[in-house]
Chains A and B, each alone.
Chain A
């Protein structure tokens, strides 16, 4: 079995994986980082979004071996201890989550948007979320949360 070495949430990790192992399986099953979720088999739902080398990626769409040497950030690495990242705090403040299953992917995707666009409009946020499905919130409060989170990120912590 091939071996993969990568950095996850700032820590080096090495794992033996099958050729067919997906990055999300490596994260969940080998590293126990179960915050990243799997909601579909077709790369539609976005529950598995993580950052690979600073960019949001659906971790069900990448083979683990493709992440060799990569710097991966998951939802577990976003907060500093008990201090939520401004995007996480904005989701909580704006009730941008209900069942919580799509939430890690939503937050990771939103952080990438805010990194790229400091002041996204409602329209830009809704377009950006094309690859993230939420069944609970009707997106209303997610959009509000991302707007507030992006503002907070732009303004510094």
Chain B
């Protein structure tokens, strides 16, 4: 067995090209005779469009064409999920044109596209377009947007409410709360975030008039879904004439899941001008056109008995959707949020209602964790608040309410059934690693230096491996969520594997190769993993929701099983034995109880050079495809503990320690898993301490519209992290894997904010919204309201 199998910290296959400048990102690609697009965007949050005069722009040097919403008569950008009102009526789903039609609805809404010989010419010409805007009052603040008389983002959507959805029995919960020994209440703002993958979105579209084929290179996390949505709904173009390629993609974090207007505009326009067209977002464009994340306002109440056992949990949330429905937006604050509100606890009764609101801001959709960080933040903040109110140690209160180790499968009151977990062990690991017992001493020592020290715990759960198609369909998904894997064994025994998932930093080329190496005994150097091209991988649903290994890896195992099954038949023929007696182990087929053996490579060769082959019963070749539809979600869990020190004079919050103990089930590559946790933690800390997308409440301008204004975490914002894992296997997929991509971003915000609140308790402050910037903390300590 090569030492590149499951569990080995194999160094990544993809790194050589990334480290030597040989990565192949969309903006690195040039097509012969390529032209360039520049998108003219609305400077207004809300305005009626009058005349658009493109005459001067069309006459500018190098310009091939200028198109507006009048020219591009194509379908609306589709939404992939329907959520219903409490009364069963469907969500409002207003049109989402690729170029504005009659109105612009957020700063950055695309108004026109200029196509020219060079990027500079396109940009220069765009300045010559004269657009008559009639500015309208805008709905910016989510609360105000739902009130009578508020400006309407879409005329056909009363009170800007897309849906008003609920899960659970409100009357039952109210009755429990009314009688409970203790009720903890909390008001929470989950700040809006901007994903800011380091690679800005980019696309190239090319049309081949000879064959009628369109090719789109795009920075997507799921090229097959882009092809399906664009082809079927926007451009009415059959799949076999549309190829979508997502080569190396420089980070996604959710923001590159969605079908975007620019991709559709380019594919359409490239056949109009009959030249390839390239578009690369400037960072400023990314800020006002990439779907943003989070943005909830929540009131929650937790009822407890006299011993601190949770009795009922009631949550009411306003969720901002921005100006249009992005691809998966409706599902995020409902099925990926409210269904997680049991957390790691036995809370027997839960009610949640979610009102989703249109505002004149950039659309909001999934961002790392997508709904689950928001749920975790509500639960873990209120649990720590309850602990503080009841004077119970927050670790102890959690332990008292954890789902018991032997209670699986565990049916929560909010639809999900957890298959496995052990929250006690990861809590204990984290407490030990963070030296929780020694905290009081550290706090005392910090106080002597005039610093406020605090510690915060978060015991999270998430639902990953999205998702059983039938369940998703019943909940309003308009797509299936299975995954595809093809294992192509070549005549000399090397292997190319095709997946419908997509790697944009996760290291699938290594991890999937490890699974293959482990199962077939083939050295990892002889295995390549291919992703990101609809012409290569038959189908797939892409990468998000930590689904690649739980769903894509399961499809891979199924395909490998088929390879081994066929290999056994071939080996039985070669060794003149019964198929039932053939065993496959360590890369060789053997006849049980004998020393007869045929290596995998010999079987592969025979499959392609079938001179001695059971032709009557078997086809030549060794190439198998499998689809896997998950049986359930997977449920990674764990405890994160943060320790902070606050400078009373400046309000600066220093994160001095961050510990994570996670249960991801089986781990294929521990090095990659740790890296995923580190990255997630950093994004979670960013949300808690630094990041905030701010719109001017009147004009709707995105105030934090560049990396100079939006605070991205830097290296010196962090300590080194302490991470560890404890595995309980997923019970329903063949590898026992749960997924690790989002955990850090889910657990860290509550851990950090619980630590900040714990520290500030010493000066009588028991509440603060994210991000806990030095200004906000200083004002809180000094009793000054923000101006």
Contact = CB atoms under 8 A, between A and B. Distances in A.
Partners in one complex: yes
Nearest to B672: A95
B435 interface: no
A139 B721 CA distance: 10
B675 A135 contact: no
Interface string B427-459: 000000000000000000000000000000000
State the main secondary structure of chain A at its contact with B: loop
Nearest to B723: A140
B284 A41 contact: yes
Contacts of B282: 41
A135 B678 CA distance: 10
A98 interface: yes
B7 interface: no
A137 B678 contact: yes
Given A135-B712, A137-B679, A139-B682, A99 B251 contact: yes
B419 interface: no
Contacts of A104: 21
The size bracket of the interface on A is 35 or more
Interface in B1-23: 11-12, 14-23
B198 A101 contact: yes
Contacts of B507: 98
Interface string B13-57: 011111111110101100000000000000000000000000000
Contacts of B17: 100
Nearest to B714: A130
Contact of B718 (A74, A91, A138): A138
Contacts of A68: none
A53 interface: no
B198 A33 contact: no
Interface in A42-94: 42, 44-45, 47, 74-76, 78-79, 84, 88, 91-93
Contact of A138 (B198, B199, B721): B721
B198 A99 contact: yes
A91 B19 contact: yes
B681 to A, nearest CB: 6
Given A75-B20, A130-B716, A138 B678 contact: yes
Interface in B524-556: none
B20 A100 contact: no
Interface in B165-204: 195-200
A75 B18 CA distance: 10
A98 B198 CA distance: 11
Given A44-B708, A74-B21, A126 B197 contact: no
B107 interface: no
A142 to B, nearest CB: 7
Contact of A42 (B19, B506, B706): B706
A20 B248 CA distance: 29
A78 to B, nearest CB: 7
B148 interface: no
Given A93-B11, A140-B678, A140-B721, A44 B707 contact: yes
Interface string A95-108: 10111111110010
B706 A100 contact: no
A13 interface: no
Contact of B707 (A40, A140, A142): A40
A20 B123 CA distance: 13
A39 B716 contact: no
Given A33-B21, A138-B683, 4 more contacts: A39-B199, A40-B283, A42-B707, A75-B20
Interface of B: 11-12, 14-23, 25, 27-28, 120, 195-200, 248-251, 253, 280, 282-284, 504-507, 671-672, 674-675, 678-683, 706-708, 712-716, 718, 720-721, 744
11 contacts: A34-B23, A38-B280, A100-B17, A102-B250, A126-B714, A129-B714, A133-B714, A137-B679, A138-B681, A140-B678, A141-B678
